Structure 1
């Protein structure tokens, strides 16, 4: 099956769930205890073409490979919006032919396990809130700075998804009404200033290159990151006024250079946001890396299992 498996030697029993993170090139699975212990992780290639039918088959095979005698539920993260009930994938970004796919039903029929879904950014937020940089906070925002900008909102310890499950699209708020066009139909969205694509457009370079140059003391790279931090801080200021989080967690590939843009981002927040709305606010780098989606999907599954057990 072309898998990369990591089975921990310590044998533990008791109820378990599977967290699954679907990506364009790989599907990550993890088998978790209720305390967050990962007993096994598995990565399988995403079928090409990644039709819903092929993906369901690949996941079913992987679930069997993980062993499911103690598994009580599946949590699933998908790259795109999901309906409010966590049953239907509205669209899966970068996967052809995915529109209103009843994926939870399909997986339940194939595996016999109750299944719940959320989009991948929401799963990453849940993961960081459960076992990562947000574990000390009840109210937090996660922002993933990658090819696009994903977001997740945790309020009173619960994932907020809003009406029809479409809440938390934090990268699509307007930063500049006359700015670059966005795939969403907006202009000048937050994403158009802080995503990897925005960095490439502004500099002709990759974030990793700019990070290396900044570490070496390159003045232009350092000045770019300061400018980037100001844009990030401006967008975060609007979110802080609405949500007054205890913490903002920054993930995604761009976060590797956080040391160069966090200071100006915080300075911009302090300049724009009333102290009463940012009291004790912490700006932190995500801790779980590309495992966050899988971990958060497992948390989704635990919540479903505990609610129905």
Structure 2
């Protein structure tokens, strides 16, 4: 019966919206909600917004645990949001410790792109794959790495931030402190350096065959492809997934990405490589956050 058995709430915290879902242990979506992210998105205000949204989504407390994806790395204990370079005031925020007494449920944290990768592995485009690189193309450029079907997070929990690798040493400044990062060129702001048009309008024009719009997407794909080539040499994944808002135009920029991969990457390092758009869209993050809550947390395990 739908709704029976163990349940978890998955939360995807974004810069403009907080997306929530209540899921069964099989990954069935039982209820969902979206609320605006407080502006400015300071940690205290976001904490209260998440509390209110969880309680509104699950007033009967059917879900026993909560997983939260946030835009930045967590510490290895998955309790603290280490940093979120695109949110103000987010440095070493003990978000799980703040939320657990408010929600009276155990809480675990993860990078939002990591959550998306887990969601895609569970019920999306990464099912059956072992070595996967996921890039989220939106306000920033996030990412996640699955090796052997497991998240790679490094010794301090902050590994796999592919958007912060350098493309041009003297390029535009990045909020990370780098210059000319992949994020500087392939985020929404980076696309804005190529065209003043809104991404949706730019995609609409390209769909209609507008030559100038198609040229912009080709330049964007070239930059993304150059950055991807460096990552392929390190990781040699079998699958690269593209998510985030800009991935909706992937049919326009993927050919240019492939041109760079085929030109710059040895055949042995791209053997049987697939590059695809994520299958779950904006729902992958909250699904993956719920999955991590099932894996990591025991009901009643408040600290």
Using the size of structure 1 for normalisation, the TM-score is 0.89
8 Å contact from structure 1 (residues 145, 255) kept in 2 = yes
8 Å contact from structure 2 (residues 166, 178) kept in 1 = yes
1:292 corresponds, among 272, 284, 290, to 284
Q: Which residue of 2 is the match for residue 7 of structure 1?
A: none
2:113 corresponds, among 118, 121, 128, to 121
Using the size of structure 2 for normalisation, the TM-score is 0.90
Question: 1:112-155: per-residue Cα shift (whole Å, max 9, x none)?
Answer: 22211012222222222222221231111111111221111111
Q: Which residue of 1 is the match for residue 29 of structure 2?
A: 38
Structure 2 residue 19 is the aligned partner of structure 1 residue 22: no
**Which of 152-161 and 79-88 deviates more?**
79-88
Q: Which runs of 5+ in 2 are unaligned?
A: none
Structure 2 residue 145 is the aligned partner of structure 1 residue 156: no
CA distance in 2, matches of 1:179, 1:98: 25
8 Å contact from structure 2 (residues 8, 23) kept in 1 = yes
8 Å contact from structure 1 (residues 14, 70) kept in 2 = no
Cα–Cα, structure 1 residues 294 and 217, in superposed 2: closer, same or farther, change >3 Å?
Answer: same
Aligned pairs (5 A) from 1:151-230? 151-230=143-222
Q: Which runs of 5+ in 1 are unaligned?
A: 1-9
8 Å contact from structure 1 (residues 211, 221) kept in 2 = yes
CA distance in 2, matches of 1:140, 1:306: 28
**More relative contact order, 1 or 2 (CA 8 Å, 6+ apart):** 2
Q: CA deviation at 1:67?
A: 4.0
8 Å contact from structure 1 (residues 72, 305) kept in 2 = no
Aligned pairs (5 A) from 1:231-242? 231-242=223-234
Cα–Cα, structure 1 residues 58 and 223, in superposed 2: closer, same or farther, change >3 Å?
Answer: closer
CA distance in 1, matches of 2:55, 2:203: 42
Cα–Cα, structure 1 residues 167 and 308, in superposed 2: closer, same or farther, change >3 Å?
Answer: farther
8 Å contact from structure 2 (residues 229, 265) kept in 1 = yes
Q: Helix, strand or coil for the counterpart of 1:165?
A: coil
CA distance in 1, matches of 2:87, 2:238: 35
Q: CA deviation at 1:48?
A: 5.0
CA distance in 1, matches of 2:203, 2:38: 34
CA-atom RMSD in angstroms = 2.3
**Which of 76-85 and 60-69 deviates more?**
60-69
